[in-house]
Amino acid sequence: MECVTLKDRKVGDGHETVFLAEIGSIFNHSKDEAKRLIKAAADANVDFLKGEILHSPDFSLDDEYVFSYQCGPEEKTKSESHREIVKRKVNPLDFYRDIFEYSRKLGLEFIVSVYDLESIYFLEDIQPAAVKIASSNINHEPLIQVASEAGFPLIFDAGNTYLGEVGRAITWTNKYKAPGVIIQHHPGSGPALAETHNLKIMQTYKEAFKTPVGLSCHYIGDEMLYTAIGMGANTLEKPISFDPKKEDIDTVFSLHIEDLPKVVQKIKNSWKAIGTAPLPLKPDRNLDQRMGLVASNSLEVGDNIDFENIRFALPCRGISVEHWSVVKNKKINTSLQEGTPINWSDIDFGAHNP
């Protein structure tokens, strides 16, 4: 598998799992809220900010198409015109320039989802760490072409997609010379239940396409993040918000900003716990907790080495328990007091003393 470089950060096996704190368009038209989210993400020491550009509602037709989602304190299902949802979240390009420059000023680089070609042209000026292609655009060759030719590493969400569709998108990135690709498993519209995640698919993507893989987490809670690390995730993406109970799209499975620092630390700890295989040799390992043979009562010459005469205790001061099969039913060749460790010299091996 080839690693992908996001700015100066290596992504791939052997490198720490990268966490993307997603603000999306959860702030709607409020630049102040967007900046507060960015500041909180920077303070929590996340690896990258994940945003998106919605500068025009025209990528959604002005017709009767209705989108349903869960939201609010009771996770009720709400249905709205998709066009109206988009219009609630559209901001001018200068709005995005301002918030992304603010993120960079705080030392937090960013990754941006795009839905039209104009957004990619805009990003050529501010140079994000990567461009993300939504799972619904896995078949959008023009979008993938322009993003690839602009020189951006690409992140694909692979949700509700066939393996062949993912492979075709990878073929396009090769054709148009994208500098790197990451595939993020997307378990479907949120909130996604645990049993719908099928996290093993990440290994399938990694083996099939030789790319880093990750999880776009749409689960209520944080446990899928740590499970994904154990399954080999190289990236993790999770929405953050000040109010997961807000009645809006994509908030119900967001992570409350107050929980973000401890989740970031848990992610780092989980990655450290993966380690390597096989275990590295430890020539100086402490074996004090291993047991040896001890006289369970006073022994005389000719007594048997058996369970009636021998017990086992730590630390091992004589013959280790691993040699039991060698010495059992042999004879003691000297008198020993109860509690005395049994040494090799205490055993009658006849002419074959070790």
pLDDT at 311 over 50: yes
Q: Reply yes or no: is the peptide bond before residue 179 cis, omega within 30 of 0.
A: no
Pick from 77-81, 108-112, 218-222: least confident = 77-81
The answer to whether residue 79 sits within a structural domain is: yes
Sign of CA dihedral 107, 181, 97, 219: negative
Condensed to tens digits (0 to 9), the pLDDT of residues 227-245 reads 999 999 999 999 999 999 9
- In-domain check, residue 279: no
pLDDT in tens, 317-337: 999 999 999 999 999 999 999
Give the range with max mean pLDDT: 69-83, 120-134, 176-190: 120-134
197: left (phi over 0), alpha (psi -120 to 50) or beta: alpha
Note the pLDDT tens digit of each residue in 145-179.
999 999 999 999 998 899 999 999 999 999 999 99
Tell me the two tokens of residue 93: 């390009």
Instruction: For residues 241 and 296, state if they share a domain.
Output: no
333: CATH = 3.90.1210.10
- In whole angstroms, give the CA distance from residue 184 to residue 157: 5
Considering the domain architecture, whether residues 131 and 93 belong to the same structural domain is answered as yes
| Residues 230 and 87 reside in one and the same domain | yes
Q: How many CB atoms lie within 10 A of CB 111?
A: 26
Residue 65 CA to residue 58 CA, distance in Å, equals 13
**Residues 247, 251, 254: CA angle, nearest 5 degrees:** 150
The pLDDT value recorded for residue 354 is 45
CA-CA distance, 200 to 190, in Å (whole number)? 19
Do residue 31 and residue 82 come from a single domain? yes
Burial label, 108 (beta-carbon count in 10 A; 0-12, 13-18, 19+): buried
Residue type at 226? Answer: Y
Q: Which of 274, 309, 331 is the last residue of a domain?
A: 274
Same domain, 167 and 210: yes
Asked if pLDDT for residue 353 goes beyond 50, the answer is: no
Residue 220 pLDDT > 60, yes or no? yes
Task: Give the pLDDT confidence of 7-51 residue by residue, as tens digits.
Answer: 999 999 999 999 999 999 999 999 999 999 999 999 999 999 999
Assess whether 302 and 198 both reside in one domain. no
Residue 247 domain-assigned (yes or no): yes
Q: Is residue 287, in this structure, part of any structural domain at all?
A: no
Give the rounded percent of residues in the chain with a pLDDT score beyond 90. 82
Domain extent for 305: 292-352
- Give the whole-angstrom CA distance, residue 243 versus residue 234: 28
CA distances from 81 to 63, 84, 185, 262 (A): 8, 5, 27, 37
In this prediction, residue 72 has a pLDDT band, given cuts at 50, 70 and 90, of: confident
Overall average pLDDT of the 118-123 stretch: 98
Looking at residue 351, what is its pLDDT? 54
Q: Is the pTM of this model over 0.75?
A: yes
Q: Is residue 346 part of a domain?
A: yes
